[in-house]
Chains A and B, each alone.
Chain A
Amino acid sequence: EVQLVESGGGLVQPGRSLRLSCTASGFTFGDYAMSWVRQAPGKGLEWVGFIRSKAYGGTTEYAASVKGRFTISRDDSKSIAYLQMNSLKTEDTAVYYCTRLGQLWTYFDYWGQGTLVTVSS
């Protein structure tokens, strides 16, 4: 059974940093691209970014709203994906979901339960 478990959320002040982790199980983690999607309280879904598998260079893509501030990385030996968030803003407050990208990297076939990040002074 595929499982994605996020951790690392919490309350952080504006301008500070936070790192989220996504621990995967139930599939060969290194074979898949992984992505982060967020949802502000009471709002819709917003894609944050994704990381390709090592077979495709392990390169990353980001939404314009987080590019230059957020970094996605992966440790295939531990089956963990990370989201490093720097220079956080109040508008980054959201539930952050870790997702697995499906075939052809065009949809998100599995989602974690999410972790809440609150950016506030």
Chain B
Amino acid sequence: DIQMTQSPSSVSASVGDRVTITCRASQGISSWLAWYQQKPGKAPKLLIYAASSLQSGVPSRFSGSGSGTDFTLTISSLQPEDFATYYCQQANSFLFTFGGGTKVEIK
């Protein structure tokens, strides 16, 4: 099974900061990577798919990049509503795995 390693596990940041979260796959997954945002008590929400495609309705301050084994989610200017936990997810041979999550907290 492909393992997904996210870092950092948590980050403290201020409104307006640029935040970068990384996700590493244990083997190459081409661009089959998605990113989700989850707020407490709520279902996850899709932000990015195919490594860099922005889901409809998601603000443009969110962007994704990478291919192969190394991927990045960037929030260009953190907003109050962005404080949440973020997960990466890979799809390979119809098996899916998630990263452990990155909690973005208020500094």
Is the beta-carbon distance between A108 and B98 smaller than 8 angstroms?
Answer: no
- B residues 62-102 in Cβ contact with A at 8 Å: 87, 89, 91, 94-101
Is the beta-carbon distance between A106 and B91 smaller than 8 angstroms?
Answer: yes
Contacts of A113 in B (CB 8 A): 42-43
Is the beta-carbon distance between B87 and A107 smaller than 8 angstroms?
Answer: no
Q: How far is the CA of A88 from the CA of B58 in the complex (A)?
A: 37
Is the beta-carbon distance between B43 and A47 smaller than 8 angstroms?
Answer: no
Given known A-B contacts A107-B34, A107-B89, A114-B43, A102 and B96 have beta carbons under 8 A apart: no
Given known A-B contacts A97-B43, A113-B43, A114-B43, A108 and B95 have beta carbons under 8 A apart: no
Is the beta-carbon distance between B34 and A106 smaller than 8 angstroms?
Answer: yes
Chain B positions near chain A (C-beta within 8 angstroms): 1, 32, 34, 36, 38, 42-46, 49-50, 55, 87, 89, 91, 94-101
CB nearest neighbor in A for B49: A107
Interface size for A (C-beta < 8 A) is: 23
Is the beta-carbon distance between A106 and B49 smaller than 8 angstroms?
Answer: yes
Grouping DSSP codes into helix (H, G, I), strand (E, B) and loop, the B interface class, with mixed when no group exceeds half, is strand
Is the beta-carbon distance between A44 and B34 smaller than 8 angstroms?
Answer: no
Is the beta-carbon distance between B50 and A106 smaller than 8 angstroms?
Answer: yes
Is the beta-carbon distance between A45 and B89 smaller than 8 angstroms?
Answer: yes
* Chain B proximity mask over A100-113: 1 for CB below 8 Å, otherwise 0: 00110111111111
Q: How far is the CA of A47 from the CA of B87 in the complex (A)?
A: 13
Is the beta-carbon distance between B98 and A45 smaller than 8 angstroms?
Answer: yes
Is the beta-carbon distance between A47 and B97 smaller than 8 angstroms?
Answer: yes
Contacts of B55 in A (CB 8 A): 109
CB nearest neighbor in A for B101: A44
Min Cβ gap B103→A in Å is: 11
Is the beta-carbon distance between A46 and B98 smaller than 8 angstroms?
Answer: yes
- A residues 83-121 in Cβ contact with B at 8 Å: 97, 102-103, 105-114
The reply on A64 being an interface residue by CB < 8 A is yes
- A residues 29-70 in Cβ contact with B at 8 Å: 35, 37, 44-47, 50, 61, 63-64
